[in-house]
Amino acid sequence: MKARAVDKIATIVIVTLALLIVAVLAGLLGYILFRGMSHISWDFLTSAPRKIREGGGIGPQLFNSLFLLILTLLITVPLGLGAGIYMAEYARPGRITGFIRLIVEVLSSFPSIVVGLFGLLLIVNIFGLGFSLVSGALALTVFNLPLMVRITEQAFRSVPAQQKEAGFALGLSKWKIVTTVLFPVALPAIITGTILSAGRVFGEAAALMFTAGMSSPRLDFGNWNPLSPSSPLNPFRPAETLAVHIWKINSEGLAPDAAQIAAGASAVLVITVLIFNLVARYVGRLIYRKLTASRRMN
C-alpha cells in the first residue's frame, strides 16, 4: 500500500509539473500573440521601418533574419555533422578526445555578449569582414557548433550496435556504414539539433549587435546581384535582424508607436520560429522515410 501511495503521489507531482510547464509556455505565447497580432499586416511584413512618423514595418529585418539563418546553418550543420561523426565513430578514447569534449562544453556555456565581443575583435576587425551577415553567421556558429556536435555524437552512439555489426558482416566499409546505416537512424535527433540551433539564430541579439550590426542599408529587392551593396543577397552588408530590431526600437524610442511595432515584431518572430520547426520536422520525416525505405505502399 505504501508503494502504491508513493507511486500515485509521484505521478500526480510529475503530471502537475508537466501541466505547469505547458501552461507557462501557452501563457507566454498567448500573451505575445495577443499583443502583437493586431499590429501585423501585409504592409507591416513588407515595408521598411520609419522612425520619425508612425507606421513602418519589419520587411528588411525579417528578410535579414531568414538570410542569416540560412548562412549560419550552411556553416554549422556540415561542421557539426563532421565533428560529431568523428567523435562518435573515428576518434579513439584518450586525452585528446577528452580535451575536445571539454572544449565543446566550454564553448556551449559562453555568454553571448562575450562571443559578440570576440567576433568584433577577430572577425570584424582582424579578418576585415566588417559588420556583415557573414560576421554574424560566424559568430553564431560559435554558439551552435557545440550543440550540433554533441547531438550528432549522441545520435550516432544511440544507434544499436547490432546494425553496425550487420553492416560489417556484409562487407561494407566504415564510411558506407556511417552514411547508409547509422545516419538514417540518427537523422531525427540531428534534425532536432538543427531546429534548436535555428531557434538560437532567430532569438540572438547581443552577439549580432557587435558582428552583423544594428542598421541595414536601403535594400533594392529588384537587385539580385550578390556583389551589389544594395542587393538583399549580398552577404557582406550590414544587417539588422528582427531580434536586434526589437531591442533597438524599444531602446531608442524614436517612433511614436514603438511599443506596437515591438509587439508585432515579437509576434512575427514567434510565429516564424513555430513555422520553421513544423516545416523542418515535416521535411525531416520525409527524408527519414526515403532513407529508411519506410514509405507506405499505396
The model's pLDDT over 229-248, given as tens digits with 9 standing for 90+, comes to: 888 889 999 988 888 888 88
What is the average per-residue pLDDT within 101-118? 83
CA-based torsion, 206, 207, 213, 216: positive or negative: negative
40-292 has CATH 1.10.3720.10 classification: yes
**How far, in Å, CA of 95 to CA of 98, rounded?**
5
Measure the CA–CA gap between 70 and 297, rounded to whole angstroms.
34
Least confident of 44-53, 124-133, 141-150, 207-216: 44-53
Name residues whose C-beta falls within 8 Å of residue 176's C-beta, 6 or more positions apart in sequence: 167
What is the identity of the amino acid at 192?
T
Quick: pLDDT tens for 45-56. Answer: 887 776 555 556
pLDDT at 275 over 60: yes
Identify which of 191, 163, 158 has the alpha carbon closest to the alpha carbon of residue 176: 163
Q: At 49, give phi and psi (nearest 5°).
A: -70, 150
Q: Looking at residue 24, what is its pLDDT?
A: 94
CA distance 229 to 223: 10
The average pLDDT across 94-121 equals 83
Query: At a CB cut-off of 8 Å and minimum separation 6, what does 295 contact?
Result: 289
Statement: residue 266 has pLDDT above 70: yes
Q: CA-CA distance, 209 to 139, in Å (whole number)?
A: 11
Q: Where are the domains positioned within the chain? A: 40-292
Whether residue 80 has pLDDT greater than 50: yes
Instruction: Point out the least confidently predicted range of 67-76, 140-149, 154-163, 255-264.
Output: 255-264
Half-sphere exposure of 244 (CA within 13 A, CB side): 25
User: What is the predicted pLDDT for the residue at 295?
Assistant: 42
How high is the pLDDT of residue 67? 92
The dihedral sign for the CA sequence 138, 244, 195, 106: positive
The percent of residues in the chain predicted with pLDDT above 70, rounded, is 94
Cα–Cα distance measured from residue 115 to residue 142, given in angstroms and rounded to the nearest whole number: 7
For the residues 91-113, what does the mean pLDDT come to?
81
Mean pLDDT of the chain: 84
Asked if pLDDT for residue 291 goes beyond 80, the answer is no
Please, which residues have CB within 8 angstroms of residue 129's CB and are 6 or more apart in sequence?
A: 123, 135, 138, 236
Report which of residues 93 and 51 the model is more confident about: 93
Local structure of residue 56 (DSSP, 8 states): B
Q: What is the pLDDT of residue 167?
A: 82
Residue with cell 527519414: 288
Q: Tell me: the pLDDT tens digits for 172-211?
A: 888 888 888 888 888 888 888 888 788 778 888 888 989 9
The answer to whether the CB of 229 falls within 8 A of the CB of 217 is yes
- Please tell me the predicted confidence (pLDDT) of residue 296: 46
Residue 112, pLDDT score: 85
Question: What phi and psi values does residue 238 have, to the nearest 5 degrees?
Answer: -65, 150
Q: How many CB atoms lie within 10 A of CB 195?
A: 17
